[in-house]
Amino acid sequence: MKPPSRPCPDTSFLKAFSHAFGSGALIEGKDAEGGNWLDSLLRLLLHRVSSVYGRMIWRRAASQCRLDPTARLGYGFQINNDGPAENITIGAHSIVRGILHASRGGHIHIGEGVYIGDNTIIYSVNRIEIGTGVMIAHDVNIYDNDTHHKDWTLRKIELDSMIKKVKAPVPRITSAPVSIGDYSWIAAGAFIFKGCTVGEHSIVGAGSVVTKDVPADSVVYSHGALAVRNL
């Protein structure tokens, strides 16, 4: 007589660890077989740890930005804001898995229903505006600044302040606002530089380097991100 099957363990709490493309953790068939008190204890511990860590991430974010209660944050989410909380806003129903960094008075404003994937870095010392319904994949970089100076003597001052902790005024770096239009899609690995506007509904192809404005309703790809066709 065939023994009665055992129910598959509830692993819904592991979904927070899934990749952008996943719907949850991958469970092999053998993982659903058997089960004893040790399995139950392990699942309970994982659930408790993930819950505590998740609360830590949320509370840190809420202390550094204006975070809509309906937004969701990934377990890889990071935030650094050396200005007031108003300098970073995350709109309703948005999902942010990446890294938000605002310094030297920078502003990052994320609209409603935006998705930002794992390991994406958004770094502002000026202003970055992300519209409604924008999809930003993993490993994207969006900078409104040069990050460092072209003059090596100024870079040395900055480097000394970081490594040697030498207290000296660090000159401002060149910057210009960035805007990502409503319902646009920035594919994996793209890089958007300072001063660029991506028009609404547009698509920036994977690995593209955007150095100038992208027209609305267009598709761009390749190095230099030249518009190749209209949608």
Q: Which residue ranges of the chain lie beneath pLDDT 50?
A: 1-32
226: left (phi over 0), alpha (psi -120 to 50) or beta: beta
What is the residue whose two structure tokens read 């001063």? 195
pLDDT of residue 44: 77
- CB count within 10 Å of CB 77 equals 21
57: left (phi over 0), alpha (psi -120 to 50) or beta: alpha
Q: Is residue 42 part of a domain?
A: no
Q: Is residue 62 part of a domain?
A: no
Residue 71's alpha-carbon distances to 98, 113, 142, 231, in angstroms, are 14, 8, 21, 30
Q: Is residue 179 part of a domain?
A: yes
Q: Is residue 207 part of a domain?
A: yes
Give residue 164's identity as a one-letter amino acid code. Answer: K
What size, in residues, is the chain? 231
pLDDT of residue 48: 74
Residue-range definition of the domain harbouring residue 119: 67-230
- Asked if 166 and 176 touch (Cβ cutoff 8 Å), the reply is no
Q: Is residue 46 part of a domain?
A: no
pLDDT of residue 226: 58
Q: Is residue 14 part of a domain?
A: no
Q: Is the pTM of this model over 0.85?
A: no
Q: Is residue 35 part of a domain?
A: no
| N-to-C CA span, the chain | 61
pLDDT of residue 231: 63
- CB count within 10 Å of CB 189 equals 17
pLDDT of residue 13: 40
Q: Is residue 93 part of a domain?
A: yes
Q: Domain tally for the chain? A: 1
pLDDT of residue 229: 61
Q: What is the CATH number of the domain that holds 182?
A: 2.160.10.10
